[in-house]
Structures are given as C-alpha cells and as structure tokens.
Structure 1
C-alpha cells in the first residue's frame, strides 16, 4: 500500500528535505520536495499527494498560509505541520486551520514515519466513510436481525402508501430513524422532513410551533410566522412522543388531520396543507386512553399502520454491527488513526441489556472511543455500568441501602490451620457449585479468625488476599473460566484479572 502513497515535503532547509527524501523513499513512498510555500502549492496541484509535511516558518509564504490554501483546495487533505517553535498560539492556529497533527523539530524519523502511517490510515478511513455519509438518510437504521427485517418490510409497504403511521417502541430505540426511512423512501422524499418532540416544547407554544401565528397574536409576535405544517408542505411531519401531548392540542391536531387545513394563532384564514403525519410514542396509548389522557378518536386516526420497533435487548445479534458502525462514524469525524473495538469489548457490549437502547449504545461507543488512547478500544474504556452489566444498578442500590449481602466464600490454600478451620466451619462444604449463603455475622467471624492467625504488620494484606483469591476463583468458575465475562462481572479490566490470576496462580 505504501508504495503508491505520495508525500509532499515543503521546507526551506535543504538538510530537512534531504533527510525526508532518503527516509521516505526507503520506506516505499513517492516523494516530492519544495523549498518554499509557493512552489509547494504548485506541486500540490500537480502531484496530488496523500500527505503533506509543511514547515511553519518559511520565506515568501509561511506554513499556516500554505495549510489554509491546501485545505481550500481539498478539505480532506492530511497536512502535518512542522516547527521548532511550539508555542500555544501557533499550535492552536494550525489545528483550527485543519492540520492533521503537529511535529516538533528536531524529530525522530521513526516517529515521523509512524505519524505518516496514521495519517494515511485516517485518510483512507475518511474516504470509505464518505460513501456512507453520502448515503440516503434511511440508511441510519441498522440491523440484520429477523426482528429488524420485519420492520424493513413494513417500511417498504407503508412508504408506497400515503397513510398515517404510528411508530411504537422504547425510548432510544430509533423511532425517528424509522420515520426518516419511511419519508426518504416515499414520493415525498424530495420535500421537507420536520420533526418535533411533543415533550420538549411547552404546551403554550405547541400550537404556534405547529400552526404558526399572525403578527400581534401575542406579546412578542412582531411579525407573522409560518408553522411546521406550512414549512413541511408536501413533505412529512414527525410527531415524537405524541402520548405526552395535552388533550386540547390533541383535539386541534385531530381537526387538522380530518380537514387538512390549519389556522394560524391569532388569525382566521384557513390554509390548506398537504403533509404526511408519522407519530411515535414509548407509551401504551391504549392505557392512556383508559386513563382519560389520550383521545381514542385521535388514536385511530394516527394508527392506520403501526410499526413496533424492537428494543435492542430483543435483537442482541445487531449489537456488534451497530457498535462497529458507530465506531466507523467516529473514525471519520475525529482526527488521528481510526480506532476499532476489540473482540473482548464486543463481547461485553453484547452481554449488556441496554435499557437506553441504541442511543445508550452509541453514547457508550463514543465515550470509549474518546477515552481510549490506543487504536484498540478495550473493555476497560467502556462505561462502568456496561462493564458491570445488569447487576450494576441492583448492586449500587443494595450498597446504598446498606443491605446485608449474601456471599459465597470459601477460604482456600491457607497455610494456617486455624484459618482453614474457620473457613470450613463458616462456609461448609460446597458441592455441585451450589451457592451457600453466608450472613454478615459469619463473615465477621471469619475475618476475626484470619486476623487472629495473621502476623503483626501483615494482617491487612493477608486477609484481603485470602478473600480476593477466593472471589476471583469463584467468579472464574461461575463463568466457566471465561476471562472476558468474569472481568465484566467483577467490574475490572481483563488485564487486571490476568495479573491477579498470575499472582494467585489460579
């Protein structure tokens, strides 16, 4: 790959250009050299390099100006800025102008080659992601599971028909993406798509947001303003969380759906509208109808077709696909070499129940991508609740409530008979991996026995090591010696678990 990569070096020092030419040609790159910014820009237009190395301080045209011109020619250009003057202002200016990275003189040629390699990887990733970024917005919906295949079938059917659709599903499951997919696959695809969250907008403002208002309709209405129904003319309006809309607004929406006309707030002129309504909710609307909080006639108007979006825990086979997809988006958006998720990280992600669904998964991937310093994202970079799994909340609640935990403990490999006897007396014999509950008072007795048998100055480490060794052993046995699952359950990294396995010779 590197044999075809082109590197342009722009530096007024002959010795620097010479050193780069020798090192880069030896590494298999095609190299072009320029002794000033003007010649460098001319070479850029004809040589079309993959990476540009440019010095800051040069005669005729400085490096920042060269960088600015190159980025104007190609917004995706990878430019590495070189300078012996690493002041904050220069660094910030270079990064603001879109420099890929900063190289301080004097530099190690091996470090420079590594930086070039990373820059090339980032450029290639960006090109691959560019195709994805330019894909129709309907492609934002991801998943190959049978449950999602059924959703895709329904989207295909309702897109052809100009009917009202109700999308139901848990918060964060991607209901707006379903609405977008319907819109962008329908005959209205070239017209606007407008989304409004019925929970996020104050009840008093909802009517003016949807229907617009006339000048003087209320204090501050200095000029007339069209509402969403007018702005989305010919297109689609997505009403998210419609179950939270108040009854008065529900009645007005029902009238619009039936008459296909709106009246601005403070006005009396009827305005014809041609929009498709797609509504969504995470509530059980049938229950809210029984509770008197949702109109039954509106329910039947918006639920001509219902699409039930599965939660992420109902389609766990889609988790690796979604996680890698989010990772690729971040790689295209961020500077530096693209990062990837390790198989261990994928396993931990797949084991989590994702109460926040796809939105929570995306946030978790973004957090781990940000925290990871290397190109490989490990389980230790994931949010703690994901590493701990479904038991995290229960565990935290128990700790906060000060409840007595039931533990399974068995002190092993004790060199002192008294400690071994105490463990045997408290824990008893464990057969067939059956869990033996131990009260806090029993643990207290065990600790007392261990303290009595420990040496002065070594009591803390002695007692803690006894418990830790047994905790690790039983956790590993519980997960059939799967280190990834055991580490996730314990809330530690796999590297930490490996070190402790070696320490205790497990």
Structure 2
C-alpha cells in the first residue's frame, strides 16, 4: 500500500447508518482514512474545516440535496473529487451531478471493489491534476479551435469534463471532429500520460468485436494463436474512445454495460477476472434517443454513457469559425506540401462562408488540400478550387461574363441565364414565409423547415 493512499482522507456522506458504516469499513480496509456523515449540513461544516481528498456521497440526503453539497465543494479553492451514489430512481439527478463537476457515480447496488476503484481513481487524479494551466491551451494544442458561441459552449463542457472520470457522449454530423474532440478531452485530463485508444465500432465485424474490446486467450476460437490484450486492457489508466457506438450489437452493449458498472471483465475464452481503470468517451452521428426509441440501443446503457453530453455543431452553424479553420488547415497543408500559400482571396472567403459544408470539417480539409497540391501561389483564388466544389455558385457568373452580347443566339441564352433566380433569394423567401406563418417564432419555423434555429439566424444576418 503506497503512502499517498494510506494518508488519503475520504468523507462518506450517507444517511443510512448501516450503508455508510459499510462503505467506510471497505475504504479503511483499503488503506484510507474515513469519516462518516449522515446529513448534508454536518458534511458542509467538516468540509469548511478540512477539505478531504475525496467525498463519497449519496445524491438523496435528508436535509439538503446532494447537488448542493457538490456545488459548495466545487466553489472552494482546492475542491475534492466527489463520487456520487445513486439508485435507479435518481439516475437523472446523478447525471446532472456529473454535469456540475462530479467525478464519478456509483449506482446501487455496487461492490466494495467498485467503490474502492472509484475512490482510488478520484484520489489519484486529484493529485496529478495540473495547476494553473490555461484551459484554452489544450484546445489549440489539439487543433480543436473556434470562437463561435456554439464552440465556446463545447469548450466549457470539455473543461469541466476533463477533471472528472464521468463518461462523455459526443454527438454530431459526420466530419464535425468527434475524434479530435475526444483526443482534446484526453489531453486536457489528468489521464494525458496514459494511452488514448480509439475503436470504430462500425469497422469491426460483430463476431470479432468482443475479442477486440476485451481480448482473448490462446485457443479461444479458430485463429486465436496467442493471448491478446483487448482495447479495455490496453487503455488502462487512459481513455477509450468508441466511435460510431450505435453500430454496436445489443448483446455486446450488455457486456459493455456490465464493464461500466463493475470495472471488471474477462478475456474471451478465460474465466480470469481482470480490472481496468479507463475513461470512456463515445461518439455517434446518429440520434441516440431515436436509436433507443426504436430498440436498437439499450436505454440503460444510454443513460450510463450520456453523463456529459457534448453536441458538436455542424460547420455551417459556426460562423467565422469557417475562416479560422480554413486558415489553420491552409497553413498545415502548405507546410506539409512545401507550398507558399498564406491566405484566401475575398471571393473565396465569401464563398466559404456562404457554403453549407455538408461534409463539415472533413470536406473543408479535402477542398483545401486538393487546391494546395494542384496549384502554386500565395493566395487561393476562385479558379483554383476543385471543379466539383461550388460549381453551381460560380458557373452562371463565368458564363455570363464570357458570352458576347452582339450574337443574337448567344444573347438569347444570356437572357435565359439572367432570368434564373438565385438560390439564396428562393431560400430567403421560403424562410421569411415560414417565420410569418409561425407568428415570428423562429425556433418553430426552423423545426418545420428541418434546420436549426441558429442556421436561420445566420441566414438573416447574412441578408442584412
């Protein structure tokens, strides 16, 4: 038993005398110093006098809410990590606790091993948490950049989530940067010295997924020629990122839920019980609520994973972030391809800002890389962009400028081109009509149009 663990002070806040005594006894046997409180106010008095290393507390207390205790702790100069205890009936409260800065939560009933593991993680990560590090550095270091309101909200969530062990569920369209988001979270957390292991659930055959996830022993199945560690074991002490989680089959979801609840697992073909301390981050481009409603995703697993939800906005809703990202990508691609590009022409910048980017950041990267590789110069011009990009928005301009007006046949064609109504005008008329029908309720109009309210606000701003 190491000295740090022997000296760690844990406050157990549990109104049940029997349960509190049991938790304290299990932690003391593991080498911790414990104090048991049966109500919130007694715990607050003790916290004011001496801040412990870890607080284990029930969400439901007889005098005040466990959330109030948590919020008080988090306002102190050197807050303890808080592990929440919850029952099935109060799972929503526990989820809210994680959003407020809770480190982890234990769902009743739980084993003594799970309790000790949670406290050990909370104690260890509190000791290793870097002090006085500007939070913004972690985002820029990972290339996860943005100044829009939507991204500032994401950054604030990541800053809070980085200090806890709680599961993070990232949603967003394809190409919005979900893996970069997970990597940023890992780099900003006390686990940054540990491994970051990413698994694409859609890319692994169902019959091999359990082996990839938990590992296997020699002879477990045909082709298992030697023992092999799975992702859960390899990621011990770090972060495990599960991309496209909704592609996982239901029977595998049950095994993942068991691991989350107990922290233990078995390799395929082995009865040996192993333990792994990992931080789980998940992502999907589907709507998990819809997947649950249609029976393709377990509801209990969804609530266990969706502790800290992070929704990445599509690029079209990030305003000037489009140009920030474009310049960042241009600098990277120019350097890696030994080119001299340093910026974009005003026409290209305007086109980028008005384009909807259905492929999001991934499409932006591909467009810029294609342009940089094929062309030479310092400024990206319109005619340098790939022919497949923005062709509808530029073709009519080029056609109109090259047709001679003194040719009757071509002049007739020119008149036909001019008679075409620009797409943005059609779109503007449709949006304004929807807003009028909905009595100026923009969120409601957005719902009927099938877009987000922020998209409409951005369009209106662009018209003025």
SS in 1 for 2:203: coil
Cα distance in 2 for partners of 1:271, 1:143 equals: 41
Q: What is residue 164 of structure 2 aligned with on the other side?
A: 161
CA 1:334–1:385 in structure 2 vs 1: closer, same or farther (change >3 Å)?
A: closer
Cα distance in 2 for partners of 1:478, 1:158 equals: 40
SS in 2 for 1:195: strand
Match of 1:467 among 402, 413, 420: 413
User: For residues 14-53 of structure 1, what are the structure 2 equivalents within 5 Å?
Assistant: none
Task: Indicate yes or no: 2:291 matched with 1:291.
Answer: no
Q: What is residue 126 of structure 1 aligned with on the other side?
A: none
Residues 315 and 360 in structure 2, CA contact (< 8 A), matched pair in contact too: yes
CA 1:166–1:142 in structure 2 vs 1: closer, same or farther (change >3 Å)?
A: same
Cα distance in 1 for partners of 2:423, 2:280 equals: 54
Cα distance in 1 for partners of 2:311, 2:382 equals: 32
SS in 2 for 1:194: strand
Q: What is residue 381 of structure 1 aligned with on the other side?
A: 384
CA 1:184–1:297 in structure 2 vs 1: closer, same or farther (change >3 Å)?
A: same
CA 1:473–1:297 in structure 2 vs 1: closer, same or farther (change >3 Å)?
A: closer
Over aligned residue pairs, what C-alpha RMSD do you find? 3.0
Cα distance in 1 for partners of 2:166, 2:372 equals: 41
1:76-112 CA deviation, whole Å, 9 max, x = no partner?
xxxxxxxxxxxxxxxxxxxxxxxxxxxxxxxxxxxxx
1:127-165 CA deviation, whole Å, 9 max, x = no partner?
xxxxxxx98885321111111001000000111111011
User: For residues 87-106 of structure 1, what are the structure 2 equivalents within 5 Å?
Assistant: none
1:155-210 CA deviation, whole Å, 9 max, x = no partner?
00111111011011111101111111111111101100011111111111111111
Q: What is residue 186 of structure 1 aligned with on the other side?
A: 189
Q: What is residue 139 of structure 1 aligned with on the other side?
A: 142
Match of 1:345 among 348, 354, 357: 348
Residues 137 and 180 in structure 1, CA contact (< 8 A), matched pair in contact too: no
User: For residues 69-468 of structure 1, what are the structure 2 equivalents within 5 Å?
Assistant: 138-388=141-391, 462-468=408-414
| Aligned positions, number | 284
Cα distance in 2 for partners of 1:256, 1:477 equals: 52
Cα distance in 2 for partners of 1:186, 1:477 equals: 46
Residues 170 and 284 in structure 2, CA contact (< 8 A), matched pair in contact too: yes
Structure 1, unaligned runs of 5 or more: 1-133, 396-408, 416-460, 480-506
Q: CA deviation at 1:390?
A: 8.2
CA 1:361–1:149 in structure 2 vs 1: closer, same or farther (change >3 Å)?
A: same
TM-score normalised by length of structure 2: 0.57
SS in 2 for 1:316: coil
Residues 139 and 145 in structure 2, CA contact (< 8 A), matched pair in contact too: no
Cα distance in 1 for partners of 2:240, 2:362 equals: 22
Q: What is residue 76 of structure 1 aligned with on the other side?
A: none
